Amino acid sequence: MTGRNLLAARAAAAFERLYGEAPAGRWAAPGRVNLIGEHTDYNDGFVLPFALPQRTVVAATPVDAPLWTVWSEQAGEQITFDGTDAGKPGQVTGWGGYVAGVVWALLDAGHQVPGARLTVVSDVPPGAGLSSSAALEAAVLTALADLGRIDLPVDDRPALAQRAENVYAGMPCGIMDQAASIRCRAGHALFLDCRSLALEHIPFDAAGAGLAVLVIDSRAPHRHVTGEYAARRAACESAARALGVPALRDVTTDGLPVALARLDDDVVRRRVRHVVTENQRVLETVALLRAGDVPAIGPLMTASHASMRDDFEITVPEVDTAVEAALSAGAYGARMTGGGFGGCVLALVDADRVDAVADAVTAAYADRGFTPPVWFSAAPSAGAAALP
């Protein structure tokens, strides 16, 4: 059995054990890594994530009342909420808040949402910056939309799931993670313009080029993530106001020196420089992938990391150590992926050097006394879908 089938079987078995019947269906949605384009989504900019093989599977059956009973294997608990709870953002907290948030967002958009019994199993590691919350939102949204025959085009689903997270769960994220979990395609990275929401599936065949994308979980303890994230977002938005543009997306690399000269705070100047140069790096990465030159994206990844470390100041010693060790061991490029302050590092490496690079990172961690990293290599996988 493949990993996905095993998860689906576990979700269905748990459903039968808890609710005494087989589920009406099963739905899956993946976690993601972002190849490049960090903290650009809420600046109306560009991102290039791809979906992981790791995913969250929901088994579900509708019920006749506005009542949602949800069991999570990872959390080891079952929660129940009703329409009143779902109507009040923040009422359901923890992992259940992402489920209640999706119900809230659907109701708020005027849809009839079926009550349901659900079980949730997942192999997306939580707290590793791989979008386990977006995977949960996307799996629940896909399940409820199917069960309720809700007329909700797939184009509109990422924004609805993002509202669940922004308004119900209180995390001021951009749209990248929900878009990745819902819209990604196997074998491709998702080039998303976060202003127009126009998207293009860019073939990304690292294996075909003899390469692998190594995903290294830094194991760094996440500290103050939501607060620091919100502070970065606020700094970007106030810089855009100071520059008289709708969003930092509107500052071009050519216009950057003039924009920076108009800002008097050095920290804000560096935040702006990160966003503007990062957008440009996404565009250059897409151009290289369109030309089929996968190894050439390495230096852009490494430059992205330097920008996150020095200008946006969202890295921590563990991720910097992983990036440096991977590069010293021969990676074409390496960078932290996701919101920052911990999480995962991506390294683009020769396929036959995966173990050597992972060993080099592990050795560097041992020298620094860090908790040993865990790692896997990832191929671009499919977005949210019903399972057969």
Annotated binding site for Mg(2+): 133, 165
- Report the residue number, 41 or 311, with the smaller CB distance to ligand GAF: 41
- Report the residue number, 39 or 157, with the smaller CB distance to ligand GAF: 39
Taking the complex as a whole, the smallest distance from the CB of residue 111 to ligand GAF amounts, in Å, to 24
Q: Which of 177, 217, 311, 320 is catalytic?
A: 177
Taking the complex as a whole, the smallest distance from the CB of residue 38 to ligand GAF amounts, in Å, to 4
**Residue 177 is among the residues annotated as catalytic for this protein:** yes
Taking the complex as a whole, the smallest distance from the CB of residue 154 to ligand GAF amounts, in Å, to 19
Residue stretches of the annotated binding site for substrate: 38-41, 229
In order of 62, 83, 149, 201, 297, the CA distances from 286 in angstroms are 42, 44, 36, 10, 9
Q: How far is 320 from 309, CA to CA, in rounded Å?
A: 8
The contact set with ligand GAF (CB under 6 A) reads 34, 38-39, 41-42, 173-174, 176-177, 338-339
Q: How far is 221 from 232, CA to CA, in rounded Å?
A: 19
Q: Quote the tokens at residue 241.
A: 């106001």
Residue stretches of the annotated binding site for ATP: 72, 127-133
- Report the residue number, 4 or 281, with the smaller CB distance to ligand GAF: 281
Taking the complex as a whole, the smallest distance from the CB of residue 134 to ligand GAF amounts, in Å, to 7
Q: Are 350 and 377 in contact (CB under 8 A)?
A: no
Which of the residues are catalytic? Answer: 177
